[in-house]
Amino acid sequence: MAVVHSVLLLWTLTVLVVLHSVQLSRAQAHHRNWNEAQLPKCKKLLTRKEWRTLTQSEKAEWVKAVKCLASIRHERLSFAKDHTVLEGKRSLYDDFSYTHALVEHSAHRNAYFLPWHRWFTHLFDTSLRETCGYSGPTPYWDWSRDHKDLFHSPIFEDSHEYGLGRNGDPELDCAVTTGAFASFELAWPIPHTLRRNLTLLTGWYPHELPQNRTLTPEYVRNATEQTTGDFFRFQGHMALLHNHVHNFVGGDLAGSCPQAIPEDHCNGMADSFTPNDPLFWLHHAQLDRLWNEWQRRDPSNFAAFSGMPLVAQDMSDPSYDVDANADHMMPFDIRSVSVPPKAVFDTEAWPLCYRYADEETPVLE
């Protein structure tokens, strides 16, 4: 446990030093008309690739690293002001679900959704590399390629070595029994194994339409091309895509409770533990890729950030946030120091230092 705490402390201190350096350099650059030559440089750029373009060996190494994090258990400090220790031991993988739940108010339904998850996904990727020695590409899942038949997407391979697994068994509370994450143990909201319940219609909403209706190349292209300079509206489209994939996969990724939790105690309890499913990281890397593409599509997009649309039609809209700004410090529990959105605008600059591999755009039909 001492070794684990030392690794976590070293990582936290490293992030603190890096971000302080970045913010100081950017503050200095601001007074020099943002001279980019003053900013720290990346020693190299890590690569992010679509899951199906990875070799079986690369997939297996990523799965191995995720399971490595899940195998390292330690006592976990609570988020309470008295810093009490939570009863029992959880894994370093479980820590990410706990953090996601604790600061859910910063992670969803606000102007900080995309930048918060960009840094959160980067923290997870860094943990795989620093703690478990992963050195391969960071995978993402381009679900727009599979929109016609999500159930048979290559993402649901059942190889016990490199597959992410298929649908859960309805006779076993939708527990995943195939692939490398069969019987994958999780701590939140109660101890259970990974669960999935693939469905296009959840039955949760009146007049519900299939979850894949937005997950098409055409929808993605329209969302990208018709929101130039308007971060608020672009992010709104991304949030919709985000929700539909979570709802389609179901189980842990949709925040549904294990059956052991009484139904009257379940409402809202498991919503924030969606990183339980390793698919979470591939899904959010895809959303980050789309934001990155949007940013680089037009100069007015790159540093665009606002809690308001360019043209506000109804100022009483509760989704508007006139105070949202790129200097706001987003919290990340014990995973990291707080980070402002402006620190993560450029994926190819320090401290992020990654790029998305070029790939052929799917042909619209």
141 and 279 in contact (C-beta within 8 Å)?
yes
pLDDT of residue 23: 41
108 and 326 in contact (C-beta within 8 Å)?
no
281 vs 205: CA distance, rounded Å: 26
pLDDT of residue 6: 44
Phi/psi of residue 277, nearest 5 degrees: -85, 125
Query: Which residues contact residue 264 at a Cβ distance below 8 angstroms, ignoring those fewer than 6 apart?
Result: none
pLDDT of residue 135: 98
pLDDT of residue 343: 96
Query: Which residues contact residue 298 at a Cβ distance below 8 angstroms, ignoring those fewer than 6 apart?
Result: 228, 229
Q: Please give the distance of CA 84 from its chain centroid, rounded to a whole number.
A: 28
Q: pLDDT averaged over consecutive 10-residue blocks of the chain (365 residues)?
A: 44 45 39 48 96 98 98 84 81 95 86 97 98 98 98 97 98 98 96 97 88 97 97 97 97 94 81 94 98 98 97 88 96 93 97 84 35
pLDDT of residue 38: 65
Could you write out the three-class secondary structure of the chain? CHHHHHHHHHHHHHHHHHHHHHHHHHHHHHCCCCCHHHCCCCCCCEEEEEHHHCCHHHHHHHHHHHHHHHHCEEEEECCCCCCCEEEEEEEHHHHHHHHHHHCHHHHCCCCCHHHHHHHHHHHHHHHHHHHHCCCCCEEECCHHHHCCCHHHCHHHCCCCCCCCCCCCEHHHCCECCCCCCCCCEECCCCCEECECCCCCCCCCCCCCCCHHHCCCHHHHHHHHHCCCCCHHHHHHHHHHHHHHHHHHHCHHHHCCCCCCCCHHHHCCCCCCCHHHCCHHHHHHHHHHHHHHHHHHHCCCCCCCCCCCCCCCCCCCCCCCCCCCCCCCCEEEHHHEEEECHHHHCCCCCCCCCEEECCCCCCCCC
pLDDT of residue 36: 44
220 vs 212: CA distance, rounded Å: 12
Domain extents in the chain: 2-356
The closest alpha carbon to 232, from 342, 324, 116, belongs to: 324
Tokens of 309: 């649309």
In the chain the first and final C-alpha atoms are separated, in Å, by 54
308 vs 64: CA distance, rounded Å: 42
Rg (alpha carbons) of the chain, rounded to whole number:
20
Helix axes 92-102, 113-132, angle to 10 degrees: 160
pLDDT of residue 218: 98
Whether the ω angle into residue 189 lies within 30 degrees of 0, i.e. cis, is yes
pLDDT of residue 81: 65
- CATH number, span 2-356: 1.10.1280.10
Tokens of 172: 């076993």
